[in-house]
Homo-oligomer: A and B are copies of this chain.
Amino acid sequence: MAFQKNMVDEQHSEGTFVHVPNPHLEKMKSDILYHFALGTGTHDFPALFGDVKFVCVGGSPSRMKAFITYMAEELGIGGPGSDYPNICAGTDRYAMYKAGPVLSVSHGMGIPSIAIMLHELIKLLYHSKCSNVTIFRIGTSGGIGLPPGSVVITKQSVDAMFKPQFEQIILGKSVFRNTNLNEKLAEDLMECAKELDQFNTVIGNTMCTLDFYEGQARLDGAICSYTEKDKLQYLQEAYKAGVRNIEMESSVFAAMCNLSGLSGAVVCVTLLNRLEGDQITTPHDILKEYQTRPQKLVGHLIKKYLGKQ
């Protein structure tokens, strides 16, 4: 395919381009990224996004806006009080912000929601001819056996049976994809955590579930058919399998990074220790501080990579 040949040529001359394993795309005259309200026919992607080197994604739109403001300050981009407009203002599905080489995008909650965003994001980076892009998911999670506020850098994302795989259903059939994350990037982040020395940080496995209540063995949903003993046994088994936190997006994130050649990392703070409870009762201001921890860690790494630290 001419499309793949170009990719290889470009990789040799200018670095690693984003890989889009879809031969149909080259036949399309234009591409509408519907859930971003952006399109190649209406927007100049290379001009808008060609300089992007770091993408940070997270569930909440307001947290991703806070992240871009924080990063701009840290990188000395724009003056104090600068505003960063939402690039996806034409839709309320996702929010997107940019400051210099950093793009910040919200993804909502759960695998399907982040998957839609990642399909369109990977195409956006491809159409923009971006190279050497590193992507981070910064988020919140439930911890297992860790004090609340700990940060977990994901080694492998595992499913509800603790297997490092993501099940993608294609034309009604299951396909299993690898969910390993970039080891070097995880180690670099751990190094940053040591340099910052502000909060407990570990590298561990992250369980990725399709549900927050029954899927994570919570006792406080609208529906529950198991006992507290069953719950604790399941979470203890997860701990023995190396799981240190539970969230709802990492598996498809890892799988899609692997398929598109993006270096990816997942950095989540734990809001509670699930061995001790299910409800998130920590006061709002403490939770808010917890949520800045993945931002600080990723921000520190970005500054280091850009030679600003």
Contacts and interface: CB of A to CB of B under 8 A. Distances in A.
A212 to B, nearest CB: 5
A130 interface: no
A168 interface: yes
Interface in A171-213: 171-172, 209-213
Interface residues of A, number: 66
B279 A34 contact: yes
Given A32-B281, A160-B172, A22 B60 contact: no
Main SS of chain A's interface residues? loop
Nearest to A235: B171
Given A234-B172, A280-B32, A93 B111 contact: no
A161 interface: yes
Copies in the complex: 2
Interface centre among A21, A108, A123 (most CB of B within 10 A): A108
B34 A224 contact: no
A217 interface: yes
A31 B278 CA distance: 11
Interface centre among A21, A122, A222 (most CB of B within 10 A): A222
A240 interface: no
Given A34-B279, A213-B119, A215-B170, A21 B112 contact: no
B92 A61 contact: yes
Given A224-B21, A230-B171, A115 B31 contact: no
A222 B172 CA distance: 19
Nearest to A19: B222
A309 interface: no
A174 to B, nearest CB: 9
Nearest to A34: B280
A231 B20 CA distance: 19
A222 B32 contact: no
Contact of A212 (B119, B172, B279): B119
Contacts of A60: 92-93
Interface of A: 20-25, 28, 31-32, 34-35, 59-62, 92-93, 108-113, 115-116, 118-120, 122-123, 126, 160-162, 168-172, 209-215, 217, 219-226, 228, 230-231, 234, 248, 256, 259-260, 279-281
Counting from the closest, the 10 A-B pairs by CB-CB distance are: A110-B112, A122-B222, A22-B224, A24-B219, A119-B221, A108-B108, A119-B222, A171-B234, A109-B113, A110-B113
